[in-house]
Structure 1
Amino acid sequence: MSVIPQTYEDWEYCITVKCGIPLTADYVQARIVALQDVESYQTEKFIRRWGAAHHARTLRWFQQAAQRIETAGRDT
């Protein structure tokens, strides 16, 4: 696996296992809101550090995580 995740599965592993951050609905939604605010200092810093393409991928992965959480909630 690359240092920078290239797939949703690699990204999810990095977040949940390596970083120990649970992908809760609240956390995922907060990250989506933050990543969509391209004028915020933190998002600008993220884009400068990792690039616009990785920013877009990361936002999509958080959106995908939100969909999985929503689907799992309907299945219970």
Structure 2
Amino acid sequence: MEMSFIPQNYEEWRHCITITCGQELTEAFINSRIQALQNKSDYMTKRFVELYGEAQRQRTLDWFVRASEELKHPSH
């Protein structure tokens, strides 16, 4: 039986997106996800909330915002 993995923190989420899924966190991708997750009438956002809950939607939105800030202000 395969376990479902839902990231519980930013590091797990980032690993899931970039390593497991192979999705580069580009400015365009991040901005599109932020826009969608902020739109509670968006079909996929509604499905996300149905599957994972409002708290996970908010956490995921926060993680995309953090990723956006890291792109704008990379640490040295």
TM-score with structure 2 length normalisation? 0.90
The residue that corresponds to 1:33 in the other structure is 35
The residue that corresponds to 1:7 in the other structure is 9
Shift of 1:57: 0.3
- In structure 2, what is the Cα distance between the partners aligned to 1:40 and 1:25? 20
TM-score with structure 1 length normalisation? 0.90
Runs of 4+ in 1 over 4 A off after TM superposition: none
- In structure 2, what is the Cα distance between the partners aligned to 1:40 and 1:24? 21
**Are 2:22 and 1:20 aligned?**
yes
Unaligned runs of 5+ in 1: none
AA aligned opposite 2:52: W
Shift of 1:40: 1.1
**Are 2:65 and 1:63 aligned?**
yes
Q: How many residues align?
A: 72
AA aligned opposite 1:59: L
Unaligned runs of 5+ in 2: none
**Are 2:60 and 1:51 aligned?**
no
Identity %: 42
